[in-house]
Amino acid sequence: ADFWEPVSARGGGIILNPDDFYILATREAVTVPPDYAAEMVAYDTLVGEFRVHYAGFFDPGFGWDPKNVAVGSRGVLEVRSHDVPFLLEHEQVIGRLRYERLTARPEKIYGSGIGSHYQGQGLKLAKQFKTPN
């Protein structure tokens, strides 16, 4: 692939090589109510030398469906290890969402109402990149 190559978990985990970027999806669905915003932060900074995200902001209404509040959407994380390889195991907790209440509810909520097509999409590279075979 020109920029990205698929990586599969072997033996219950993947090894994050130093300075490589990985695009990973959250295991759990994320829901951000319309009157909140959220940021992905490290669950425990002592867990290892890696960064859990480079684009960790979740807009008001991300994964939120007024008809089915429990659905949610997968968050997409840009992950990078520093200095040494890092073993990321299946179901390992690496981050958490920190929610902040907004001073006012936005006029337009994240999702199809503003022309966003990312709700419920799952793991996908940005449109500027070719999909690997």
- Asked, for residue 46, whether it belongs to a domain, the answer is yes
> In this structure, what token pair is assigned to residue 91?
């179901």
- Asked, for residue 33, whether it belongs to a domain, the answer is yes
Cα–Cα–Cα angle for 14, 8, 76, nearest 5°?
80
| Domains: count for the chain | 1
Class of residue 73 by CB neighbours under 10 A (exposed 0-12, middle 13-18, buried 19+) = buried
Question: Which is higher by pLDDT, 38 or 110?
Answer: 38
- Asked, for residue 121, whether it belongs to a domain, the answer is no
pTM of the model: 0.74
H or E, element range at 25? strand 21-30
- Asked, for residue 125, whether it belongs to a domain, the answer is no
pLDDT value for 27: 87
- Asked, for residue 3, whether it belongs to a domain, the answer is no
- Asked, for residue 53, whether it belongs to a domain, the answer is yes
SS3 32: coil
Confidence of residue 34 (pLDDT cuts 50, 70, 90): very high
Residue 97 CA: distances (Å) to CA of 16, 73, 84, 94: 22, 14, 26, 11
Q: What is the mean pLDDT of the chain?
A: 79
Q: What is the CATH number of the domain that holds 40?
A: 2.70.40.10
pLDDT value for 126: 64
pLDDT value for 102: 97
| Residue 9 predicted with pLDDT over 60 | yes
Find the domain containing 51 and state its range. 13-114
Question: Which is higher by pLDDT, 21 or 35?
Answer: 35
> In this structure, what token pair is assigned to residue 7?
């990586």
Chain centre to alpha carbon of residue 124: 11
Neighbours of 116 (CB within 10 A): 15
The whole-number average pLDDT for the span 16-41 is: 89
Instruction: Assess contact for 91 and 27: CB atoms under 8 A.
Output: yes
Residue pLDDT, tens place only, 82-114: 888 888 888 888 888 999 999 999 988 876 566
- Asked, for residue 122, whether it belongs to a domain, the answer is no
